[in-house]
Amino acid sequence: MIEIILNGKKQVLDVEGDMPILWALRDLGLTGTKYGCGIAQCGACTIHLDGISARACSIQLGEAIGKKITTIEGLALNGVLHRVQQAWIQNDVPQCGYCQSGMIMTVAALLDQNPSPTDAEIDAALTNICRCGTFQQIREAIHATAKG
């Protein structure tokens, strides 16, 4: 049995400790965290682990014991979108949308650590891949969120 804190609630899972967090989330019905590459390169599976951006496909549940896991489903609070989610809507960021939950999670963690990042800091932090190429809209949304 593995006990984790998921989106602010204690969860007890009957799984092995070496199961990747991604698969446990998907088994729980939390499908916002996407499977992309499986080797922590694309960022589609990005979550927050104690507030830090992390790739759920490469972290085992056993490594998350005692840590807070936040997924895209847990980012909004009490039905109010997170400021990054709102900026995504206002700046028409998504196209296909597959990478967007991971992008949003990465940017939310970035802005928590650096409320007003430069373009160079955005480039360094945002290693997620978007095949649609919405990087300019993403940058605009980040700057709009940093101003607000």
pTM over 0.75, yes/no = yes
Query: 71: which 2 tokens?
Result: 């997924």
Pairing of strands 68-70, 2-6: parallel
Average pLDDT value for residue range 120-125: 95
Q: What are 17-36's pLDDT values in tens digits?
A: 999 999 999 999 999 999 99
52 lies in which domain range? 2-74
Cβ partners under 8 Å of residue 108, min gap 6: 48, 75, 82, 84
Position 20 scores a pLDDT of: 98
Look up the CATH number of the domain holding residue 20: 3.10.20.30
pLDDT computed for residue 148 by the predictor: 64
42/92 same-domain check: no
Last residue of a domain, one of 74, 102, 130: 74
Same domain, 111 and 70: no
